[in-house]
Amino acid sequence: MRFDSPRTILQGAGSRHQLHTYIEYSKKILIVTDSYLASSGILPKLDNAIIFSGVQPDPTDTNVAEGFDLATNHHADTIIAMGGGSPIDCAKAIRHRLGKAQLIAIPTTAGTGSEATPVMVITDETAGVKRMTRDHSLLPDVAIVDHELSATMPRPLTAHVGVDTLTHGMEAYVSQKRHNLSNSMAVHCIERCHKYLRRAWLNGNDMEAREGMAIAALEGGLAFGNSSVALVHGMSRPLGALFHIPHGLSNAVLLAEVTRFSFEGAEHLYNEIAAFLHLKPGLNNLIQYLENLNRDLEVPRLRDCCNNDLDLFNQLIPKMAHDALASGSPANNPRVPTAEQIEAIYRAAW
Ligand SMILES: [Fe+2]
């Protein structure tokens, strides 16, 4: 068993103000972010930093190349990633190509947990595929989890990344790569989602709930970064690549149907998850919970994310099933599906 995490994790309101401690010896810094955050005025103001704000949602290999050129020309020895999963993943790829540079991740959405994982997802534009890479060198050195940064997340984003967080906890817990320490993180991630997700969605200024979800996201990242994600994430990436559904939402629309399929592969583990969610055991209770959660948080249906274009969806199902299997994530699922079974789950989730 092995458990990896950032060297340092700062957590708490205002912890972002301790950033300077970790860049004391940095000569040149590249801040990787998106255009929204760049214009928001919350980026750290540093004399020796330049800003790369060209990261798009679902970062591409082109974004990475651009950021890498900037970092090289600037001789950056520190990369600060600030934003949701997209800037953080892009920064991981840039640091990976640079070789030696310190990576500090400051998440502004409570969701992906990317600040604490050795995993990134970068879209290969030529192939039309979202590629997941896992490598120890991708793990950020420092993660600064300051939930004050997530307080302005709008309701839909809170819902989508929140259900993604729950998905991380559940998938890590049932994964074939589960182990004792990843389980500890997964259990607390799931329990915190149960306690805080609805509250954070109902009232974005409920700072106790925002903090709860920020910690849940961190725990979810530590859980699946050391265990793995599974079939939900395997099936969601093709939806992101082909229909441009954001990461969190693409998982949220699949979670219930994938759980229905996977349950028989690890009944006792899913029943434990039901208990963490204060439910009685049984598939139906768990499915009901997940469906109610999506309904209450106003998560759209898959069909709404695909412009209700069933013909196009059906046409792309074989490619999506193929790409899902090729990603490797379904092999970690407690019940390993065939391509035909994945196709059936896509149809059921529609
Ligand atoms: Fe995720």
Tokens for 92? 């991981």
193-212 burial string, b = 16+ CB within 10 Å, else e? bbbbbbebbeebebeebbbb
111 has a pLDDT exceeding 90 = no
Tokens for 22? 């970790």
322-342: average pLDDT: 96
Q: Determine the distance separating the centroid of ligand 1 and the alpha carbon of 48, expressed in angstroms.
A: 33
Q: Determine the distance separating the centroid of ligand 1 and the alpha carbon of 3, expressed in angstroms.
A: 19
What DSSP element (H or E) covers 98? helix 85-98
Q: How confident is the model at residue 315 (pLDDT cuts 50, 70, 90)?
A: very high
Q: Determine the distance separating the centroid of ligand 1 and the alpha carbon of 26, expressed in angstroms.
A: 31
Confidence (pLDDT) at 94: 97
11-21: average pLDDT: 97
131 has a pLDDT exceeding 90 = no
Confidence (pLDDT) at 172: 98
288-311: average pLDDT: 97
Read off the pLDDT of residues 153-209 as tens digits, 9 standing for 90 and up.
999 999 999 999 999 999 999 999 999 999 999 999 999 999 999 999 999 999 999
Q: Determine the distance separating the centroid of ligand 1 and the alpha carbon of 164, expressed in angstroms.
A: 5
Read off the pLDDT of residues 33-64 as tens digits, 9 standing for 90 and up.
999 999 998 999 999 999 999 999 889 999 99
Tokens for 270? 């899913």
Strands (E), the chain: 8-11, 29-32, 49-52, 78-83, 102-107, 119-124, 129-134, 142-145
Q: Determine the distance separating the centroid of ligand 1 and the alpha carbon of 241, expressed in angstroms.
A: 14
318-325: average pLDDT: 96
306-317: average pLDDT: 97
Q: Determine the distance separating the centroid of ligand 1 and the alpha carbon of 314, expressed in angstroms.
A: 24
Q: Determine the distance separating the centroid of ligand 1 and the alpha carbon of 142, expressed in angstroms.
A: 20
Q: How confident is the model at residue 127 (pLDDT cuts 50, 70, 90)?
A: confident
- Residue 26 has φ and ψ, to the nearest 5°, of -80, 135
Q: Determine the distance separating the centroid of ligand 1 and the alpha carbon of 161, expressed in angstroms.
A: 8
